[in-house]
Structure 1
Amino acid sequence: MFFSIIIPLYNRPDEINELLHTLTLQAYRNFEVLIIEDGSVRDAKEIVESYRDRLNVRYYFKPNEGQGFSRNYGFARAKGDYFIVFDSDCLIPPGYLQNVYSFLTSSYVDAFGGPDGAHASFTPVQKAISYSMTSPFTTGGIRGNKKHLGPYHPRSFNMGLSRQVWEKTGGFILTRLGEDIELSIRIQSLGFKTALIPGALVYHKRRTSFLQFYKQIHFFGRARINIYRFFPSQLKPVHAFPAAFTLFLFVTIVANIFGSFMGILGDAVLVLFILLIFFHSWMVNKSAKVAFLSIFAAFIQLVAYGLGFIQDFVKRVIFKHA
């Protein structure tokens, strides 16, 4: 099986250098790499070219269109039987492709996704963010959990699809705002089979500061409503949990200001939530510092997603604005 690895890139030369280095260490060697530079000001051409003696790699520069259409650009030029998409801020363990190959040859699926985790080299903030995005006490636990609710929707930071899927779907019809979930739903609607491959784990850096994390997750909350425009039935109660948490937090703060009993009750719930996050993160990360930072990461994730969800729900669903 020949894999085509497609990586859209925008102003992140340092990240692609680290990612390409991890690809040189893959145990399974039958693959090519396509770097799609999406109109970057800080391009990575020289860095990519420096890997030509170690990887079967091709570099393309195109006008800026966003990650979804940049992946399509790569699909159209790929030679593989199976396409794999990574975000540029991922590090790929040496056994990744071997694990994918073994899974597909024993239990073939038309498209797959894999989980993400924190690498030992990540900063405490990055580890806290990674914990929040994968914790059972936040919405992140559904992203790479074998016991996810409903059909599994591969996410584009770590996603694979067959050439047949690409030819049938035409790839991404959105370039941002939930483009990967839209494609995953469309793949399933056409009768293709999807699955989570637990061994297809990547180390996902995500963002290096809480402010960047807030902006990214706020965007995710808006994206969920954008998906609702195409597939209303795919908006589930679980997707509204961050919005409900955000409203609960607001009501608790107001109740405390006015000395209401609801404030005391809300405080008790929040303290319990904080303790759960702290001790679970400490157990997972073996670090009290990361556990402490995980509290902030969890609140930022839930509030940012909740506010983005509420913002576009009011705008697009209630007031019907495009």
Structure 2
Amino acid sequence: MFFSIIIPLYNRPQEIKELLQTLTLQTYKQFEVLVIEDGSKDDAAEIVKSFAGKLDIKYFVKPNEGQGFTRNYGFERAKGDYFIIFDSDCLIPENYLQVVDASLKANPLDAYGGPDASHPSFTPIQKAISYSMTSPFTTGGIRGNKKGIGQFHPRSFNMGISRQVWEKAGGFIITRSGEDIEYSIRIHSLGFKIGLIPEAKVYHKRRTNFLQFYKQIHFFGRARINVYKFFPGELKAVHFFPAVFTLSLLFTLVANIFTWRIAVLCNFVLLLFILLIFFHSWIKNNSAKIAFLSLIASFIQLTAYGLGFMQDFWKRVILKLS
């Protein structure tokens, strides 16, 4: 099988250098790389050029349209039997393509997704963010999990589709704000077989500080309502969990001011949740420091998503504004 790896890029030259370096180490060699610069001011032309002798690589420059339509640009120019899309802030294990090729031979899929993990080189904050995005005690527990709730929806930081999917389903119709979830649902609706390849992990750096992380997750909460506008049936009870958590935190604060009896119960539940996250992260990361940062990251993840979700639920669902 010949793979086409498609990477949209926007003002992140250093990230693409690290990603491309990991691709030079792949044990499976039948692939090409398409890097599409999406109207960047800080471009990666020289960096990509430096890999010309190491990879079968092509570099394109286009006006800014967002990652969804930029991936479509890559699909249109790809030669592969299978298209794989990565975010530019990913590092790829050297056996990734070998794992995917073997898995697709053993269990053919029209589209797949893989999980993300923390790399040893990540900063403590990045490791904490990675924990919060994969933890069973946050909404991360339903991502990249074959035991997840409902249909499995590949996410665009680590996602593959066959050429047949591209020819029948077309590409992304949303360029931002939940574009990968909408695409996954549409692929499902056309009868294609989609699945998780648990071993096809990538190391996803995400954001480097908590403020950037908050902004990203707040956007994700809003994006869920955007997907709802296309597929109302895809808004599940689990998607309300961060909003419920956020409101519960507010209720706990109010209870501590006005009524100690209710506050005692609320504080006990909150303390239990804190201890679960802290010790689970400590065991997983073997670091008390990362465990403490994981508490911060998990609370940011849940409240940022919850606030973004509630903001657009009120605006677009209750008030029916565009």
Shorter-chain TM-score: what band?
Answer: over 0.9
Residue of structure 2 equivalent to 1:5: 5
Residue of structure 1 equivalent to 2:21: 21
Could you tell me which runs of 5 or more consecutive residues in structure 2 were left unpaired when the two chains were aligned. none
For 2:133, what is the secondary structure of its paired residue? helix
For 1:83, what is the secondary structure of its paired residue? strand
Per-residue CA deviation, residues 175-232 of structure 1 (Å, 9 max, x unaligned), is 0010000000000000000000011100000000000000000000000000000000
Cα distance, 1:150 vs. partner? Answer: 1.4
Structure 1: which amino acid aligns with 2:238? V
Residue of structure 2 equivalent to 1:318: 318
1:84 paired to 2:84: yes
For 1:97, what is the secondary structure of its paired residue? helix
For 1:307, what is the secondary structure of its paired residue? helix
| TM value normalised by structure 1 | 0.99
Structure 2: which amino acid aligns with 1:9? L
For 1:177, what is the secondary structure of its paired residue? coil
Residue of structure 2 equivalent to 1:271: 271
1:60 paired to 2:65: no
1:48 paired to 2:61: no
Cα distance in 1 between the residues matched to 2:62 and 2:274: 46
Cα distance, 1:262 vs. partner? Answer: 2.0
| TM value normalised by structure 2 | 0.99
Cα distance, 1:100 vs. partner? Answer: 0.2
Structure 1: which amino acid aligns with 2:25? L
Residue of structure 2 equivalent to 1:255: 255
**Runs (4+) off by over 4 Å:** none
Structural RMSD (CA): 0.6
Cα distance, 1:258 vs. partner? Answer: 1.6
State the percentage of identical aligned residues: 73
Cα distance in 2 between the residues matched to 1:248 and 1:261: 16
Cα distance in 1 between the residues matched to 2:9 and 2:262: 48
Structure 1: which amino acid aligns with 2:81? D
Cα distance in 2 between the residues matched to 1:261 and 1:298: 27
Q: Decide which moves more: 141-150 or 92-101.
A: 141-150
Cα distance in 1 between the residues matched to 2:181 and 2:150: 13
The correspondence of residues 1-322 of structure 1 with structure 2, limited to 5 A, is: 1-322=1-322
Per-residue CA deviation, residues 61-91 of structure 1 (Å, 9 max, x unaligned), is 0000000000000000000000000000000
